[in-house]
Structure 1
């Protein structure tokens, strides 16, 4: 048995014996689905102008900037399929081994994989809201227009529709953050998956689990500030979750 296999076996044992296991996911898990992360070596923020994509002031002044930049990244999501990480997490939840899934991601792939208890701490594009009135609509209702790079407009008042994603300059969804903190407080095992742990307050969630007496496992290609506190650390998400899929007999 290789050293990696020993670590994976230990991880599987920790998941089996946990009373309240919670997963916390970042953009790294969706790179396996062909979606760029944000801050990786080939991340979205290495491209020109993308720092303006989620700037709320830019959106209110010129919503076409967001819709032009997000045409493929957000509104091409229907073409993306869940990765093995998404699928195994959904399988663990179905087996009763995963109590909750907290995500920084805005790609809806956890739901597509079949996860039910998903806490989206950075908001979600599943709903779009009018910037001028109380009108709201679904992702499916705006995707055909947004896919062209055009700005979807409110049918009532003509203002731009904005996805319920948390832009820079906006407060994170309070209910989601509170629920995430509660889950991390209850967790005796927190799996941190594909997150650089650089964006606060979400990046502070592992501290809550540790301070509450739980263990934290990190699976991420790049180092994080929390690595020295982790009970286990792995670097290869695909390899780790291929092992877990086999260990738990999860069909994907």
Structure 2
């Protein structure tokens, strides 16, 4: 059997398992968004080869919010290339699975907001979202574009128009505690899933890296869809080494 035939057979088998499962949960990582033009943070050509992670540490934000926001403008340019990003075929496929009643939730390590933009409704954003900022004093949130426009015009740091507090990107910065709500929700979903999909993630960063094991301990079938091997690939019932933008639409078609 050729490699292509093997992938097609595995896709058909996994599609049947998805169709039969009562609760399917997907975990997604940077590999789902690279086809939308968003670079990964780690690895060759990743964001952290261009920038010093220490510049985006929570301690830096607290001590020097002006410098933090100046560097954040440069990071945004590198991250988005100065233009808008759109969901790709992988994002749309997951939204299609949810609309068809075959996917209960997406847990994502990504902060780009593309799952929601694609139409996914039940999304747990472990690391927050780049699409909003929040006031560190009153917690008010607003679209990120307004804050970046003001920062680009010289308001460094941009401040809350309500209370005057400093605005912070609504993402988890280095050195900042993970929010309890999304983390607890992700573990609950993994624990009650009977089929867990790990998609486009290297599974190197906690707490996401521990979710496949959490699902398996509760009896879930584990499927990995990723170009490279992951730390859990050898114990996954399905291990598809494939481009997620090709593999996920094929899964949707096979599920029917």
Shared fold by TM > 0.5? Answer: yes
Q: Are 2:191 and 1:189 equivalent residues in the alignment?
A: no
The match for 1:26 among 26, 29, 40 is: 29
Shift of 1:158: 4.5
2-side partners of 1:147 and 1:219: how far apart? Answer: 39
Change in 2 beyond 3 A, CA 1:85/1:214 = same
Paired residues of 2:19 and 2:255 also in contact (CA < 8 A): no
Residues 246, 141 of structure 1: alpha-carbon distance in 2 compared, 3 angstrom cutoff: same
Higher RCO (Cα < 8 Å, 6 or more apart): 2
Deviates more, 1:79-88 or 1:124-133: 124-133
Asked if 1:172 corresponds to 2:172, the answer is no
TM-score normalised per structure 1:
0.89
Contact 1:105 1:120 in 2 (8 A): yes
CA distance in 2 between partners of 1:209 and 1:227 (Å):
14
1:196 CA displacement: 1.0
Q: Distance in 1 between matches of 2:165 and 2:54?
A: 20
* Residue equivalent to 1:90: 95
Following TM superposition, by how much is the alpha carbon of 1:11 offset from its aligned partner in structure 2, in angstroms? Answer: 1.5
Whole-Å Cα distance in 1 between the matches of residues 82 and 120 of structure 2?
Answer: 17
Q: How many residues align?
A: 248
TM-aligned CA deviation for residue 143 of structure 1: 4.1
**Secondary structure of 1:192's partner?**
strand
Q: Which moves more between the two structures, 238-247 or 185-194?
A: 238-247
**CA distance 1:135–1:191, change in 2 (3 Å):** closer
Q: Indicate the residue corresponding to 1:226 in structure 2.
A: 232
Structure 2 CA distance, aligned partners of 1:162 and 1:70? 14
Gaps of 5+ in 1: none
CA deviation vs aligned residue, 1:1-30 (integer Å, no higher than 9, x gap): 712111111111111111100000011100
Runs of 4+ aligned residues of structure 1 deviating over 6 Å after TM superposition are: 75-78
1:102 to 107, 130, 133: 107
Tell me the C-alpha RMSD between the 2 structures. 2.3
Q: TM-score, normalised by structure 2?
A: 0.87
Worse-matched range after superposition: 231-240 or 66-75: 66-75
Distance 1:205 1:140, change over 3 A: same
Cα 1:2/1:40, change in 2 over 3 Å: same
